[in-house]
Chains A and B, each alone.
Chain A
Amino acid sequence: MTARPILRGLALGAAMLAVAAILKFAEHAGFLGPDIAARGIQVVIGLMLAFYANFIPKNLPALREPARASARIQSALRFGGWAFALAGLAYAAIWAWAPLPTAGDVSVAVVATAMVSALGYGIWACRTSAQIGGDPIAD
């Protein structure tokens, strides 16, 4: 059961390395302009981040009671999913179009912002869900 996601991750990693190698080869062979290979692989990384983040809200933990506590955790997952998906798309867009000297710093800042905000929201959701009491089902 756990082997399948690992194999999928390994296959994805291999595919990303292959894309990087192909882009580098194409650059050396003169098919691509300078910096295109570096930009290309960063765009792929950004899109992969967005792809994986898309499924974050689908990975629901076991149902907790009261329902409001479960709702908080669910909203944290949704927030994290949206934050990382948008950050991944922004990362890809920055590497596709922004000037190369600034793209590195700006793209990392975008992902770091998403990470900090998702983490902050997650901690808040977990703390408040732990404090919530009340009717187990329809509170």
Chain B
Amino acid sequence: MNAVFKALADPTRRRVLELLRTRPMTAGELAEQFPFSKPTMSAHFAVLREADLVDVQKTGKNVIYRLKLSVLEDALLGFAGAFGMSTSVQTADTTRKGATP
């Protein structure tokens, strides 16, 4: 459960989960939504994978991510968003590229 709380503590990772609510997305599609470098996004994805919050499948050249939240984890994500833990992430101007999560 610690891994889940660690994963949900970060607004970028919460935003990734919010994006995956709409549909499965490739790593590239997800990375496009953020002003961070690819290694930074990969590190975020690794944390989500470690917490078993996303499902990863390779199809050809694409790595496809799918949401894999239990009801409790879904509720925790909702609470994190509702109680002041915004899913808005830093913009490219305020974020140093390549910073690790």
A residues lining the B interface (CB < 8 Å) = 53-58, 60, 63, 65, 67-68, 70-71, 74, 78, 81-82, 85, 137-138
Contacts and interface: CB of A to CB of B under 8 A. Distances in A.
11 contacts: A54-B71, A56-B71, A57-B67, A57-B70, A60-B66, A63-B66, A67-B23, A70-B23, A70-B24, A81-B74, A137-B26
Contacts, number: 54
A78 B17 CA distance: 14
Contacts of B55: 60
A78 to B, nearest CB: 7
Contacts of B49: none
Contact of A58 (B25, B62, B68): B68
Nearest to B64: A63
A58 B66 contact: no
SS class, residues of chain B in contact with chain A: mixed
B72 interface: yes
B25 A67 contact: yes
Interface residues of B, number: 20
A66 to B, nearest CB: 9
B24 A57 contact: no
B86 interface: no
A137 B62 contact: yes
Contacts of A57: 67-71, 74
Interface string B57-101: 101001010111111101000000000000000000000000000
